[in-house]
A and B are shown apart, each in its own frame.
Chain A
């Protein structure tokens, strides 16, 4: 439990570090991965498939590994 949420936190960190538009980037990540980040909470059950899709979207949008 929490890996998806951890990924979301890491993404938010990268966005802040890169000083990007959070809403826009999170929207792109959500649309590309199919994971609605707004609904990812600490207790969101882990889903390896969703996590992998989110990582792929992060590579594509942020050029970052999470």
Chain B
């Protein structure tokens, strides 16, 4: 344990320095986290807005197109005939044009629901213009059930076996009788690549596996010549990814628990980069949260800048506190320690017999008051010693005279 006031002061200064550095480190760490959270929230917001904008513009485009197609006598006649070959000949040239120009990937003809079926779960396919070999099958899907039940235009996202599709469906009626249903759809997986081009962020789309079919997914992946990622996560499946590494898009939470405004996740360190992760849910046409868009924003530059600023501030504070500590110690030495030592030295000399050493108050402060008091004590002490010596001398003289 230190025994001098100066060493105690140095301990206090060192402890203050440590606390100051720790506090500053914590403060900058918090600032970094807040900045990362702000950037992530910004990324989530902009990605969510971009996604909604794509959905809106695509819906507008398909609504306008399907309204025109629904009025076309040839399309209506093909629908009424339920002849896939006739519908294909009629639709294929326009479908190719739509696909190239607007990215419309689905153009389907559906039979009307069986008479008397008030709550159909799906419809039977007359023709898929994009995949004409697949027809005649009965498909259960929310959009199909709703258009049959509600008998009005239905729009919304639907998760197919191969990905997320924005669908628009309308009933085709003739003289109060439903001829069938027409559907246009657009796979919007490609939207993430477009969003990446604009923002430089990476995007991934995860869905709950229960909405997907493992066999069909495996076939799709094999056909596309890409690795089957079905077993990468226990409950979720990454169906779209713009990042070169799928690992950074893994998620252990539940999509149903995500708030609509999205959530900022942790910062991932990968290959020397700091990536802020955020996620927002995507709802299907039924309003269910069927998937989530992951946003990865490279905040390495900001992160490095914050870290550099943090170290600079810590270094600056340390230097400043060391200088301040040295100045404080020097001032303390001059104002307190040196004067105390002088008083101790004087006390020593007076007790040692040098009675005429005076203490002159060196300043008009608390120690100056103490020096004045100490000087008064010194005078009293010298007087007492004088009296004691006189008494001792008198006693000795009397003793020696008595002896004579």
* Contacting residues, chain A, for B357 (C-beta < 8 A): 23
**B352 at the binding interface (Cβ < 8 Å):** yes
- Given the contacts A38-B385, A38-B389, A43 and B349 also touching, CB distance less than 8 Å: no
Cα–Cα, bound, A29→B349 (Å): 11
Min C-beta distance of A32 to chain B, whole Å = 10
Query: Quick one: which of B349, B350, B385 has the most chain A CB within 10 A?
Result: B349
* Contacting residues, chain A, for B388 (C-beta < 8 A): 39
* Contacting residues, chain B, for A10 (C-beta < 8 A): none
* Contacting residues, chain A, for B219 (C-beta < 8 A): none
* Contacting residues, chain A, for B350 (C-beta < 8 A): 27
8 Å CB contact of A28 from B352, B354, B385: B352
B385 and A27 contacting across the interface, CB-CB below 8 Å: no
Q: How many A-B residue pairs have CB under 8 A?
A: 53
Cα–Cα, bound, A41→B394 (Å): 12
B352 and A43 contacting across the interface, CB-CB below 8 Å: no
* Contacting residues, chain B, for A24 (C-beta < 8 A): 345, 348-349, 352
A22 and B352 contacting across the interface, CB-CB below 8 Å: yes
A43 and B399 contacting across the interface, CB-CB below 8 Å: yes
B349 and A41 contacting across the interface, CB-CB below 8 Å: no
Min C-beta distance of A3 to chain B, whole Å = 17
Cα–Cα, bound, A23→B346 (Å): 10
- Given the contacts A38-B385, A39-B385, A39-B389, A23 and B354 also touching, CB distance less than 8 Å: yes
**B351 at the binding interface (Cβ < 8 Å):** yes
Interface residues in B321-367 by Cβ distance below 8 A to A read 345, 347-354, 357
Interface residues in A14-66 by Cβ distance below 8 A to B read 22-31, 36-39, 41-44
Report the contact-size class of chain A (Cβ under 8 Å from the partner). 10 to 19
8 Å CB contact of B353 from A38, A41, A42: A38
A27 and B396 contacting across the interface, CB-CB below 8 Å: no
* Contacting residues, chain A, for B399 (C-beta < 8 A): 43
A27 and B351 contacting across the interface, CB-CB below 8 Å: yes
Cα–Cα, bound, A60→B3 (Å): 19
**B85 at the binding interface (Cβ < 8 Å):** no
B396 and A23 contacting across the interface, CB-CB below 8 Å: no
Interface residues in B368-404 by Cβ distance below 8 A to A read 385, 388-389, 392, 395-396, 399
Min C-beta distance of B342 to chain A, whole Å = 13
* Contacting residues, chain B, for A41 (C-beta < 8 A): 392, 396
B392 and A22 contacting across the interface, CB-CB below 8 Å: no
A43 and B396 contacting across the interface, CB-CB below 8 Å: yes
Cα–Cα, bound, A21→B402 (Å): 39
Cα–Cα, bound, A42→B392 (Å): 10
- Measured CB to CB, the nearest residue on chain A to B400 is A43
Binding site for B on A (CB under 8 A): 22-31, 36-39, 41-44
Binding site for A on B (CB under 8 A): 345, 347-354, 357, 385, 388-389, 392, 395-396, 399
Q: Which 10 A-B pairs have the closest CB atoms?
A: A27-B352, A27-B348, A26-B352, A23-B354, A23-B352, A27-B351, A23-B349, A30-B351, A38-B353, A24-B348
